[in-house]
Structure 1
């Protein structure tokens, strides 16, 4: 009799555990079920639980939930970003800075982490690191143009400076986003910065598409005719059709 009771209890326990794990997995698709998952079984469910805690007023509870999230699922950079937010909410500024820096190293596609690390780099005078983080934000389609435009002067504003040089080097080594640079750059970068960076990329030997470059120059001309003409002159050696009237490219 006792054996049968123990066996039944074991089956019930296994069933409850399986149901809890399935519910936890479902929480990844439907965050509304997260509170139904038993606390010890929360892995995927811990993310919406943490996000909800961060929206509340209890900083200690938010920090505890974020620490649990990172302890159970340490790899996603977004989880470290939430931990940094919880640490900042709890007044642990130094810990938050460290967490966001690690998140930025781990998750180049996490825009929140990239912007935070960029601002940390600027505050520390590291223009090269700021430019690399700006490039990561620039490549992300979800990054608003307004954010890129507001950050660009600080990161890329110095003519021929470290920021422009680093950004140009990153761009030259990534042909797959040349088209994005030529389409987005004239809108969000300071005109002179766009012209100088594009010229640096051309001088590096990177093969920018002449048609796309011409379109970018046309957009730039609407903002700064002088910068557009200087870029057209620099591009004329590779794209003769872009040479301004009266110039004689080699």
Structure 2
């Protein structure tokens, strides 16, 4: 009798834990379920809870939730970014700066970390690092063009400068994203910078789609007539 009750209780406990784990996983698709997951079973659910905590007027609570998130799932760069935001809100500015650097090192596709590191590199005058961070943001399709325009004007401002040279090297090595570079670059980069990068990369052996280059020439002409004209002449020779 007692053994039967114990067995049923054990099965019931296993069922509860299993349901909790499944609910935790479901929060990846439905973040609103996060608060329903029992606290000891929160893994995936801890991320939306920590993110929501940032919007509350309670920095200490946000910090506690972010620290719990990193303890439970330390690898994703976005979790370190959430912790950095919580630290900043709590007044721990220096520690926040260190944490965002760790996030940027761990995940090149974590946008806020990359933007932060890019701006820090600009402040330090490290145009090589700034250009690498710019490329990371550029490759993300969800990075807004306005942000790329703002940052590109700073990273790629100097003709022949370190920022442009670094990006030329990245384009040289990035055959798979040449088309993406052409489709977006002419819109968001300083016109003369885009023209220089394309021409230098093609001289180094990069191969570009001539139909896209012709579209680039029209886009550049609308933005800067002189640059567009010279670019059109250059690609005419390139595509013959």
TM, length-normalised to structure 1: 0.90
- Give the equivalent residue in structure 1 for 2:164: 164
- Contact map agreement 1:220 1:227 (CA 8 A) in 2: yes
Cα distance in 2 for residues equivalent to 1:31 and 1:221: 46
1:202 Cα deviation after fit: 1.2
Cα distance in 1 for residues equivalent to 2:169 and 2:183: 18
- Give the equivalent residue in structure 1 for 2:200: 200
Cα distance in 2 for residues equivalent to 1:226 and 1:129: 30
1:142 Cα deviation after fit: 0.7
Cα distance in 2 for residues equivalent to 1:229 and 1:237: 13
Q: Could you report, residue by residue, the CA deviation over 1:52-99 in whole angstroms, capped at 9, with x for unpaired residues?
A: 111101101101101111111112111111111111111111221122
Is the partner of 1:129 in helix, strand or coil? helix
1:9 Cα deviation after fit: 3.1
1:11 aligns with 2:11: yes
- Contact map agreement 1:198 1:231 (CA 8 A) in 2: no
Structure (1/2) with the larger helix percentage: 2
1:236 Cα deviation after fit: 4.6
Aligned residues: 240
- Give the equivalent residue in structure 1 for 2:81: 81
1:108 Cα deviation after fit: 1.9
1:141 Cα deviation after fit: 1.2
Gaps of 5+ in 1: 241-250
- Contact map agreement 1:103 1:113 (CA 8 A) in 2: yes
Cα distance in 2 for residues equivalent to 1:182 and 1:16: 53
TM, length-normalised to structure 2: 0.93
Aligned Cα root-mean-square deviation (Å): 1.6
